[in-house]
């Protein structure tokens, strides 16, 4: 038996030890289940679980194995599965026991506990975990039993009320503190008027009443601040709640001493007011975060649409308007937006964005295709089996593409906050020592006022609210960023790389010149149908070219489009000379060849049409960034572009997708922070490799998870204004930082000299946070974007 620790609580779940104590590695456990969980985590190098939070650990429940048998039943488990292909399964489980950073740490390292678990991520507000497993190594029922063994038993109820529960709890805490604050203010009214000495009996009675109503405020309304402060001290990490907790205790203890020594109610009104205004600030922050999140998740985040078949024609339909039973077409390299049944005889699907596996999967008619898969090859027809929302693809965008970088402002803010807290604590100690010789009775009031007024909450709010509002403003103006980290990345960029076709130029059927023999109506119809659902800008321009003379056809064909090369259907081919096996006739032109059975029928020459106000845009950007242009086209537009771009711009033509990616890699290797702007067609690799990748979006939107941002093509001429706004974000933060520091330093000056009472400090503290949020909103939403 190991040595018993002096602690009388369980090392794992922190419950009181039972008469029968279990030991392991000098730690005490209340039951054998907690001991086994500890040994399981320790044996898999997850001992850091207990260092993440003061309340880490949950006692495992004894659940019969048959409870989780539903997850092995093919029909029943469908409601919990988000994706399944072969032995790879992705499912989302509700784990109501999630409560702290330790829970997140443990659940996101489940792969260390079982090799059958490929990955896991936690959604803390919803208390859910999305887990990807391979059923060859672990059954889903075994996964549920493993989760239960470590204290996170899945809840299979369909409705997750965790978020609403949190809101109700915060409102209840706020209500308790508000009731106590109002009651104590009412009972202390004679004290404010200076008539309390006349009625000493009533004065003592009201003081004891104040003490009684303060108990639930201390134990319930303020408990989260104490828990956070204890966790921070245990981890030797200064957090914002440490000075708040010390201030609360100092104020409460001083008031209790005054009450029981019959000196009056002390500062119980200030104590209740402090908690009340703290919770108001917390509620206000939460509502503002929800507002920003709502704007990003459920409004028109970016215009994702698919081709929907109607009784008479095919139309573009936003994915959140799709209904079960709708028939849709998904073209080559397009993302499947929702769970569908395949109507086409076969399809090739890439689920790498969902599962992380890059293997292509062959599907046949009648198979279920999951949302997030990418179609490769010919256009496929699907019928919707499950509706979706744009937020589904937003989550895919966020989850499947991450880049690591140091977030300078957030790092600086954290560092400033820690130093500031340490300075405040030292200042409070020094001030109390100085006031020993001035007036010892004023020490509690001075120290409390310092701790309250110096709370750096406003400092901590600067980054999330400034950048959160910037995301919302940019989104409303057609520039959609993946998250706030992209703002900081753009601020660091020094090199801009433009794709040419579809980015600097736009395709217009009026800019096409056809040469060759006169095409028959059948050949025109074939061209029109081949390019109907194509994704390449040249193919779309050819479709528009013939749309003026060709009537709509009910024919349903499935052309095969090879990205960057061409389209084939039956004996017709459309694309580059190499794709058709022909000799190049226009070596310096942008041209598309049309052939039948290998015999050339005609050529389409494209005359570039630059986007509006491109010259002004390039001039503005060239003064700040080093520029480059890269394209898969012939260099026929080189002289035209040289007239627009500044001296020193590098131009690269006839580049394959892999060469574009290698070019970005070379720039990055030389120490550049590269921003790539492309239409996402042949640029996915380069966009993914760039420090920041921006996908340009036309009306026919191709969702590009490899990008960091999506820009409406019609707003390209506003790009310089967007970048200037993003660079101004640094100035907005400095203003908010300066305001917060000036407020704190001014308040500390009054508090140290004894000129600031705790009651006034409790009012000023939340007002500073509200002011910073309002200031961040004012600085960002007033920006108007001009064209250049």
The 3-class secondary structure across 518-582, one letter per residue, is: CCCHHHHHHHHHHCCCCCCHHHHHHHHHHHCCCCCCCCCCCCEEECCCEEEECCEEEECHHHHCC
Compute the radius of gyration of the chain from its Cα atoms.
Answer: 32
Tell the residue number behind the tokens 């991450």, with chain if given.
402
Query: What pLDDT, on the 0 to 100 scale, is given for residue 3?
Result: 37
Distance CA 255, CA 265 (A): 6
Question: What pairing do the DSSP bridges indicate for beta strands 340-342 and 479-481?
Answer: unpaired
Task: Give bridge partners of residue 678 from the DSSP assignment.
Answer: 695
The residue-averaged pLDDT of 734-758 equals 79
Tell the residue number behind the tokens 């073209």, with chain if given.
331
Better-scored residue on pLDDT, 387 or 429: 429
The answer to whether residues 83 and 370 touch, using CB atoms and an 8 Å cutoff, is yes
Task: Express as a percent the part of the chain with pLDDT over 90.
Answer: 6
Low-confidence winner among 500-509, 595-604, 643-652 (lowest mean pLDDT): 500-509
Better-scored residue on pLDDT, 371 or 243: 371
- pLDDT band (50, 70, 90) for residue 637: confident
Distance CA 142, CA 646 (A): 63
- Condensed to tens digits (0 to 9), the pLDDT of residues 41-94 reads 666 555 555 554 445 555 555 544 556 766 776 666 676 777 777 778 888 888
Task: Give bridge partners of residue 85 from the DSSP assignment.
Answer: 88
Claim: this prediction has a pTM higher than 0.85: no
Better-scored residue on pLDDT, 445 or 183: 183
Query: What pLDDT, on the 0 to 100 scale, is given for residue 57?
Result: 53
Distance CA 686, CA 564 (A): 14
Query: What pLDDT, on the 0 to 100 scale, is given for residue 471?
Result: 83
Listed in order, strand segments (DSSP E) in 67-151 are 81-85, 88-94, 117-123, 128-134
Tell the residue number behind the tokens 């790498």, with chain if given.
352
> Taking Cα atoms as reference points, which of 126, 777, 707 lies closest to residue 471?
777
The residue-averaged pLDDT of 141-165 equals 68
Q: Name the strands in the sheet holding 346-350, side by side, starting at the edge strand that comes first in the sequence.
A: 360-364, 346-350, 374-376
The answer to whether residues 453 and 761 touch, using CB atoms and an 8 Å cutoff, is yes
The answer to whether residues 287 and 174 touch, using CB atoms and an 8 Å cutoff, is no
DSSP helix, strand, coil percent of the chain (3-state; round to 5): 50, 20, 35
pLDDT reading at 175 higher than 80: yes
pLDDT reading at 555 higher than 70: no
Task: Express as a percent the part of the chain with pLDDT over 70.
Answer: 71
32: enclosing H helix or E strand: helix 32-43
- pLDDT band (50, 70, 90) for residue 137: confident
> Taking Cα atoms as reference points, which of 781, 784, 785, 171 lies closest to residue 465?
781
> Can you list the alpha helix ranges (DSSP code H) found in 400-494?
408-438, 443-453, 457-476, 484-492
- pLDDT band (50, 70, 90) for residue 570: confident
Mean pLDDT over the full length of the chain: 76
- pLDDT band (50, 70, 90) for residue 562: low
Distance CA 86, CA 3 (A): 49
Q: Long-range contacts made by residues 281-288, C-beta under 8 angstroms, separation at least 24?
A: 281/457, 281/765, 281/766, 281/769, 281/770, 282/170, 283/170, 283/171, 283/174, 284/769, 284/770, 284/773, 285/461, 285/769, 285/773, 286/167, 286/170, 288/465, 288/773
> Taking Cα atoms as reference points, which of 654, 650, 652 lies closest to residue 634?
654
Query: What pLDDT, on the 0 to 100 scale, is given for residue 239?
Result: 63
Query: What pLDDT, on the 0 to 100 scale, is given for residue 383?
Result: 92
- Condensed to tens digits (0 to 9), the pLDDT of residues 13-24 reads 666 666 667 777
Query: What pLDDT, on the 0 to 100 scale, is given for residue 641?
Result: 86
The residue-averaged pLDDT of 312-329 equals 82
Query: What pLDDT, on the 0 to 100 scale, is given for residue 176?
Result: 92
Residue 163 has φ and ψ, to the nearest 5°, of -65, -45
Q: Is the dihedral of CA 612, 615, 621, 627 positive or negative?
A: positive
pLDDT reading at 666 higher than 90: yes
- pLDDT band (50, 70, 90) for residue 138: confident
The residue-averaged pLDDT of 379-397 equals 74
Domains, the chain, with CATH or none: 65-160 (3.30.70.100), 305-399 (2.70.150.10)
Tell the residue number behind the tokens 């409070």, with chain if given.
428
pLDDT reading at 626 higher than 90: yes
The answer to whether residues 759 and 271 touch, using CB atoms and an 8 Å cutoff, is no
Q: Is the dihedral of CA 70, 74, 80, 86 positive or negative?
A: positive
Distance CA 469, CA 462 (A): 11
Q: Is the dihedral of CA 748, 754, 755, 758 positive or negative?
A: positive
pLDDT reading at 627 higher than 90: yes
Tokens for 534, please give them.
């194509």
Tokens for 761, please give them.
């400090």
């Amino acid at each position: 038996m190991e040595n018993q620790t002096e602690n009388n609580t369980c090392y794992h779940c922190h419950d009181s030890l039972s008469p029968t104590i279990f030991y392991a590695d000098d730690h005490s456990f209340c039951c054998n289940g907690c001991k086994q969980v500890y040994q399981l985590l320790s044996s898999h190098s997850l001992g850091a679980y207990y260092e993440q939070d003061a309340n880490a650990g949950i006692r495992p429940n004894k659940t019969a194995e048959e409870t989780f048998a539903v997850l092995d039943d093919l029909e029943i488990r469908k409601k919990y599965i988000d994706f399944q292909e072969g032995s790879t399964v992705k499912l989302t489980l509700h784990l109501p026991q999630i409560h702290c950073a330790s829970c997140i740490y443990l659940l996101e390292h489940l792969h260390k506990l079982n090799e059958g678990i490929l990955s896991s991520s936690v959604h803390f507000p919803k208390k859910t975990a999305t887990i990807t497993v391979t059923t060859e190594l672990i059954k889903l029922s075994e996964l549920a039993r493993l989760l239960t063994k470590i204290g996170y038993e899945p809840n299979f109820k369909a409705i997750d009320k965790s978020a609403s529960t949190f809101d109700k709890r915060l409102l209840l805490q706020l209500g308790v503190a508000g009731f106590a604050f109002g009651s104590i203010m009412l009972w202390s009214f004679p004290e404010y008027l200076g008539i309390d000495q006349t009625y000493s009996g009533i004065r003592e009675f009201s003081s004891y009443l104040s003490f009684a109503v303060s108990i639930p405020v201390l134990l319930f309304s303020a408990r989260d601040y104490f828990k956070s402060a204890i966790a921070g001290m245990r981890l030797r990490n200064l957090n914002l709640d440490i000075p708040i907790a010390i201030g609360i205790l100092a104020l409460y203890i001083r008031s209790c001493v005054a009450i029981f020594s019959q000196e009056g109610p002390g500062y119980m009104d200030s104590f209740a007011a402090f908690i009340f205004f703290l919770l108001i600030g917390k509620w206000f922050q939460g509502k503002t975060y929800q507002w920003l999140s709502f704007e990003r998740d459920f409004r028109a985040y970016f215009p994702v649409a698919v081709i929907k078949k109607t009784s008479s024609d095919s139309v573009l339909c936003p994915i959140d308007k799709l209904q079960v039973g709708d028939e849709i077409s998904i073209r080559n390299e397009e993302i499947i937006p929702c769970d569908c049944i395949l109507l086409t005889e076969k399809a090739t699907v890439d689920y790498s964005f969902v599962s992380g596996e890059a293997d292509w999967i062959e599907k046949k008619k009648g198979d279920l295709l999951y949302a997030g898969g990418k179609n490769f090859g010919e256009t496929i027809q699907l019928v919707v089996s499950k509706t979706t929302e744009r937020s589904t693809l937003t989550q895919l965008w966020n989850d499947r593409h991450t880049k690591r970088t140091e977030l300078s402002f957030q790092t600086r803010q954290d560092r400033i906050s820690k130093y500031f807290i340490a300075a405040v604590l030292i200042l409070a100690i020094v001030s109390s020592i100085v006031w020993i010789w001035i007036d010892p009775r004023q020490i509690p009031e001075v120290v409390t006022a310092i701790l309250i007024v110096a709370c750096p909450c406003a400092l901590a709010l600067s980054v999330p609210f400034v950048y959160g509002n910037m995301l919302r403003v940019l989104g409303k103006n057609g520039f959609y960023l993946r998250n706030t980290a992209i703002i900081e990345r753009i601020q660091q960029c020094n090199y801009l790389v433009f794709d040419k076709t579809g980015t600097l130029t736009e395709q217009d059927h009026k800019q096409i010149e056809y040469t060759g023999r006169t095409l028959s109506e059948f050949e025109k119809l074939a061209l029109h149908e081949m390019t109907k659902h194509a994704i390449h800008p040249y193919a779309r321009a050819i479709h528009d070219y013939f749309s003026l003379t060709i009537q709509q056809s009910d024919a349903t064909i499935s052309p095969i489009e090879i990205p960057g090369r061409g389209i084939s259907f039956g004996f017709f081919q459309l694309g580059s000379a190499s794709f058709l096996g022909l000799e190049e006739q226009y070596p310096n032109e942008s041209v598309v060849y049309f052939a039948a059975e290998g015999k050339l029928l005609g050529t389409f020459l494209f005359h570039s049409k630059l986007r509006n106000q491109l010259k002004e845009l390039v001039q503005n950007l060239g003064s700040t960034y080093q520029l480059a242009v890269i394209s898969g086209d012939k260099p026929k537009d080189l002289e035209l572009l040289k007239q627009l771009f500044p001296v020193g711009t590098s131009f690269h033509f006839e580049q394959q997708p892999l060469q574009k990616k290698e070019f970005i890699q070379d720039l990055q290797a030389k120490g550049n922070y590269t921003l790539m702007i492309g239409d996402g067609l042949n640029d996915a690799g380069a966009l993914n490799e760039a420090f920041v990748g921006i996908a340009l979006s036309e009306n026919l939107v191709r969702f590009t998870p490899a990008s960091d941002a999506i820009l409406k093509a019609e707003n390209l001429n506003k790009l310089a204004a967007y970048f200037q706004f993003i660079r101004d974000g640094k100035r907005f933060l400095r203003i908010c930082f300066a305001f917060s520091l000036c407020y704190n330093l001014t308040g500390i000056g009054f508090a140290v000299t004894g000129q600031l009472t705790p009651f006034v400090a409790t009012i000023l503290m939340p007002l500073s946070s509200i002011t910073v949020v309002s200031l961040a909103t004012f600085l960002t939403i007033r920006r108007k974007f001009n064209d250049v």
